[in-house]
Structure 1
Amino acid sequence: MRHCLLLFVVALLLQNSAPAVEPPNVVVILADDQGWGDLSVHGNTNLKTPNIDSLARDGALFERFYVCPVCAPTRAEFLTGRYHPRGGVRGVTSGGERLDLNEKTIAETFKSAGYATGAFGKWHNGTQFPYHPNARGFDEYYGFTSGHWGEYFDPPLEHNGRPVQGNGFITDDLTDHAISFIKASKDRPFFCYLPFNTPHSPMQVPDRFYDKFKNAALKLRAHDAEREDLMMTRAALAMCENIDENVGRVLKTLEDLSLDQKTIVLYFSDNGPNSWRWNGGMRGRKGSTDEGGVRSPLLIRWPKQIRPETRVAKISAAIDLLPTLTDLAGIPVKSDKPLDGVSVAPLLLGTAFENQADRMIFSHWNGKVSVRTQDFRLDATHRLYDMVRDPGQQHDVARDRPEVASRLTQAVARWKADVLADLKQDDRPFPVGYRAFPITVLPARDGLPHGNVRRSANAPNCSYFTNWTSADDRITWDIEVSTGGRYEAVIQYTCAATDVGSEIELSLNEHRFRGKVIDAHDPPLRGKEHDRVLRSGESYVKDFKPLSLGNATLKPGRGLLTLRALSVPGQRVIDVRSVVLTLVEPDSPR
């Protein structure tokens, strides 16, 4: 009896003395178009990134980490732990960037575990609710949902679906809001996602960063030096040093709040470099499924859990981040679909790790697929490279290693049949009118021009419609109204004084909104004055003005939202940035 009582008391004391396991905070920082070689920790002496480098010094550096060739697919794979075609992500604009609504995100998983969740930056996986980040698990969102933006200084942004004016340089501003979120959430576990939009073009950066590089002699050059645009490289490196400063601000905030010891901080990029510049001699850049297009930095710090200066040599990918972070945090994955990624937490914590010996990681873009194993890469044209002896992919060894080439070729065929089968023709309309999110923005990016109407730039992202000259011209959006009721329609427009007076109609099936352009609004274009390099794809921007077309009742269902002019007294009608439909009075539920 005494023996049993003694054992009970000892067990109770041990239980009471055991430290409580606190769920770690998580901060994920994502750069946009930053190559593997754009960090000093990887040997680039052209720039200094001490704050980002410190994550490797105090934590782990992954030597072979892979993402997608372009932006939106990588973001989708991070969010879901699944290859991007499975989630319907087939492009980077015009709706192809949207992540299917039946996919569960990493934010939903952490939110279900009691975490405060916030995202601050470039979303790029859907604009309209319920594709919007506020519907995908993020309580707080500040940034822009498009693929790229046309102005980085005091830009137009949004906060939880409502338009706001950014303050200062965009990367600094996004960091300010992430820091505010961290401070507001310091007394509970939080998941903070900070997806920057630099060094993606347009190449804009404050003077104090650019001045260091504008005349710099760069010792390290692109593998094919004659293809390198030095002005582009200098601007990109300046933007990377700006990112590094902002990473330092986040780390300092965690330290000041005494949160640094219980916060996982992870840093990576979404694809290879957006220009030819030094990248460790790898072949390919952004858009390529070769090593240089898909190899990314991955640095992760968790004091007292991940040993300083840990080096992870095993291959891993963006699809691994969701299972890894949930594993480290000790929370169950919310998704009911099988993940393509695996947890690499054992590699970080020094415990046993299985299922790596024959692992294959697939890279896809525009129908091209390559596959990477620990030692080999089979490229999109079935050339085989020994990546240990030939990291620059110079020598095809398919004839020398036919068994490897055959095995990987068959694996690619199976992967295409399995994963790309999900990439069917995109027939998803743009959703409008949810009670939980009554304001729906339909940007020019998601519409189609007809007749004389043209986009302001070849790249739809951040464009507006212009050259609207005739009553026969049309602009259309394929939409589906979720909630019937009374809506207000507002157009974001500009109009020269000589063109005032056009009568405009917006129609959906039998329903009509109508208005007249009474006020001239013809502001200058913005952006060129801040560019360090002449832009080639992104539109310049201007300040648009709202024009209300009044209210009308819309019924639930799908249809073609059509914008046209009933009369055109001048040379042109208007330029259009977006149509905004607001659910003013929903129908009463039956």
Structure 2
Amino acid sequence: MSIQRMLFFLFALFCFTLSITNTAMGETKPNIVFILVDDLGHADVGFNGSTYYETPNIDALARDGLIIENAYMYPTCSPSRTALATGKQSFRTGVYTVPVLEKGDDRENIFSRWTVGEEHTMYSQPLADAGYKSIHLGKWHLVGPYPKEELAMKFPLKKKLPQPDPWDFSWVPYHKEHCRPYYPEGRGYLKNVGGTYRGDPALEVGGYKSKTGGYFAPFSNPFIEQKPDDEWLTDRLTDEAIEFMDVHQNDPFFINLHYYTVHRPIRGRSEELVEKYMKKPGDPVTGQGMESGKKKVVEAEYATMIESLDDNVGRIVEFLDKNGLRENTLIVFTSDNGQNVGHNDTLRGKKGYIYEGGIRVPTFVNWPDRIDVRRTSIAVTGLDYFPTFMDLAGIDYDGVLDGQSFTGLFQGEPASLRDRPLYWHLASCYKHGACSVIRKNDLKLIQFLADGKLEVFDLRTDPSEEHNLAETNPEQTQALLNKLVEWRKENDVPLPPNSAVR
């Protein structure tokens, strides 16, 4: 053998050995399954204490993973999903809430944008550049009904943005022909199943009052191709996720599985399941299943939607296990805001409120043998997912990100995450007035912008936020307020015209 051939052989052997070593050390890109449930409350799962709802598959994953006790989003879906996708605070994107939900006039509000402009990169784009095969399934809600007209408007707006009736499909041709940059396929995904501008699946005459509610087939969603065996939307989205993973087993894949469930309209999965929960005793601690009459029926129907969600999470895990993909697949499970329909008497507020019931969500990450199994009290926000995904994929992303990777939590409790302050800024009104918020360690300060009113809570001793410490703890209150004001000034955070603070 010549020296050149010998050197070539040794080099090839070295590269092969290095490849095997890297794989053994976990340096290959992991598959990522990102399950985002719509309106699932913090206590709507067994791993956070529910005894009324049944989530055995979800609970098993949580018990074998990292449960993030203090996981936060915005109080409504539009800003949460925008923060997740872009890694940016609401003041950078202008998405403060769901536009049609806003209350009041243009002095009380900086009316929210609906469409996320092309200048804001989404995590799916660098992932695609790095070789990930990605699919989006379910709720998108990152584009408005008239995106080009909206983005051409002069901001701030004088009135909130409208939307068509659910059964008005006049927007569909325009979206399919001209709005690709604002849809998943224009953002690095290979396929979009069910993602539209709508925040719910009830795209038929009657909307929420329709018989199917968008959950039973035939689906009225123009971005879901009808199939003869369709029955239930949550099942169909899972079918598509499994089919995509099956096709791309040899690639790193990213599954953006953003179920519409358990968003209204509430529909019972079956009469048998509804009857099961009608007979089941309620939970006096959380208040779940404790209603009577028509409200009890809605609670039971809601419980069947959660059970169906759990069944489908089980199907995802079963596929990964059967195909030898589980070891190199990270599963992330969370919700976009607090519960809307369900109960949780242990936390104050629900969807739409800046209190814990509106922003604290059930969350875990599961990756066999790569994560120290436990429950952590370190706080994480929706802004942290983008940098976390970049970290997992080995991507050196240099764009603007307001969050921080939480991969350090997988095998430790880093001080950089434990000691950092978290911020929210809601410049439009929905359930309450516009406000800014800081949470540092266990203390949370809310400053309402119209009158400057302060509320301070110690979340460790008072998770239900019953005792305002603003006057009794003036030094801590002032220290938090100073940091909040400094953050607003440093970032040039916009305030509504009627704001009494600066």
Whether TM-score is above 0.5 comes out as: yes
Cα deviation for residue 60 of structure 1 reads: 0.6
**Residue of structure 2 equivalent to 1:348:** 410
User: What percentage of residue pairs aligned between the two structures are identical?
Assistant: 29
1:483-530 Cα offsets, whole Å, 9 max, x none, are: xxxxxxxxxxxxxxxxxxxxxxxxxxxxxxxxxxxxxxxxxxxxxxxx
The answer to whether the 8 A contact 1:85-1:422 is kept is no
Tell me the secondary structure at the aligned position of residue 76 of structure 1. helix
The answer to whether the 8 A contact 1:288-1:294 is kept is yes
Cα deviation for residue 179 of structure 1 reads: 0.9
The reply to whether residue 288 of structure 1 matches residue 339 of structure 2 is: no
The reply to whether residue 77 of structure 1 matches residue 80 of structure 2 is: no
The reply to whether residue 299 of structure 1 matches residue 350 of structure 2 is: no
Distance 1:206 1:15, change over 3 A: closer
1:241 maps to a residue whose letter is E
Higher helix share: 2
Cα deviation for residue 15 of structure 1 reads: 4.7
The answer to whether the 8 A contact 1:142-1:158 is kept is no
**Aligned pair partner of 1:377 in 439, 444, 464:** 444
Tell me the secondary structure at the aligned position of residue 74 of structure 2. coil
Cα deviation for residue 353 of structure 1 reads: 4.5
The answer to whether the 8 A contact 1:88-1:423 is kept is no
The answer to whether the 8 A contact 2:282-2:288 is kept is no
* C-alpha distance in 2 between matches for 1:224 and 1:266: 25
The answer to whether the 8 A contact 1:81-1:323 is kept is yes
Cα deviation for residue 330 of structure 1 reads: 1.8
**Aligned pair partner of 1:141 in 192, 211, 219:** 192
Structure number with bigger Rg: 1
2:188 maps to a residue whose letter is G
**Residue of structure 2 equivalent to 1:274:** 340
Distance 1:19 1:133, change over 3 A: closer
* C-alpha distance in 2 between matches for 1:223 and 1:403: 36
**Residue of structure 1 equivalent to 2:386:** 322
- Larger relative CO (CA 8 A, sep 6+): 1 or 2? 2
2:75 maps to a residue whose letter is P
Distance 1:275 1:368, change over 3 A: farther
1:402-446 Cα offsets, whole Å, 9 max, x none, are: 12211222333344553642999xxxxxxxxxxxxxxxxxxxxxx
The answer to whether the 8 A contact 2:58-2:310 is kept is yes
* C-alpha distance in 1 between matches for 2:376 and 2:493: 30
* C-alpha distance in 1 between matches for 2:415 and 2:387: 14
2:421 maps to a residue whose letter is R
* C-alpha distance in 1 between matches for 2:362 and 2:479: 28
**Aligned pair partner of 1:235 in 301, 310, 315:** 301
The answer to whether the 8 A contact 2:42-2:338 is kept is yes
1:306-325 Cα offsets, whole Å, 9 max, x none, are: 12x22221111111111112
Counting matched residue pairs gives 411
The reply to whether residue 403 of structure 1 matches residue 475 of structure 2 is: yes
1:33 maps to a residue whose letter is D
**Residue of structure 2 equivalent to 1:187:** 250
Distance 1:169 1:15, change over 3 A: closer
1:73-96 Cα offsets, whole Å, 9 max, x none, are: 111111111113312324425693
The reply to whether residue 362 of structure 1 matches residue 420 of structure 2 is: no
The reply to whether residue 32 of structure 1 matches residue 96 of structure 2 is: no
* C-alpha distance in 2 between matches for 1:88 and 1:16: 45
Which sections of structure 2, spanning at least 5 residues, go unmatched? 1-9, 101-111, 145-174, 203-213, 498-502
TM-score (norm 2): 0.75
Which runs of structure 2 are paired with 1:473-492 in the superposition (5 Å)?
Answer: none
1:421 maps to a residue whose letter is P
1:447-494 Cα offsets, whole Å, 9 max, x none, are: xxxxxxxxxxxxxxxxxxxxxxxxxxxxxxxxxxxxxxxxxxxxxxxx
Cα deviation for residue 236 of structure 1 reads: 1.9
Cα deviation for residue 17 of structure 1 reads: 6.5
**Aligned pair partner of 1:125 in 136, 142, 147:** 142
1:90-112 Cα offsets, whole Å, 9 max, x none, are: 44256933212211111112101
TM-score (norm 1): 0.65
The answer to whether the 8 A contact 1:214-1:231 is kept is yes
1:104 maps to a residue whose letter is T
The answer to whether the 8 A contact 2:332-2:363 is kept is yes
1:370-429 Cα offsets, whole Å, 9 max, x none, are: 3222211113441111111111111111222212211222333344553642999xxxxx
Distance 1:423 1:238, change over 3 A: farther
The answer to whether the 8 A contact 2:135-2:191 is kept is yes
1:160-180 Cα offsets, whole Å, 9 max, x none, are: xx8657921111111111111
Tell me the secondary structure at the aligned position of residue 275 of structure 1. coil
Tell me the secondary structure at the aligned position of residue 332 of structure 1. coil
Distance 1:386 1:255, change over 3 A: same
The answer to whether the 8 A contact 1:39-1:47 is kept is yes
Cα deviation for residue 263 of structure 1 reads: 0.4
Tell me the secondary structure at the aligned position of residue 302 of structure 2. helix
RMSD value, Cα = 2.9
* C-alpha distance in 1 between matches for 2:216 and 2:51: 29
Which sections of structure 1, spanning at least 5 residues, go unmatched? 1-7, 425-590
Cα deviation for residue 227 of structure 1 reads: 9.0
* C-alpha distance in 2 between matches for 1:388 and 1:92: 31
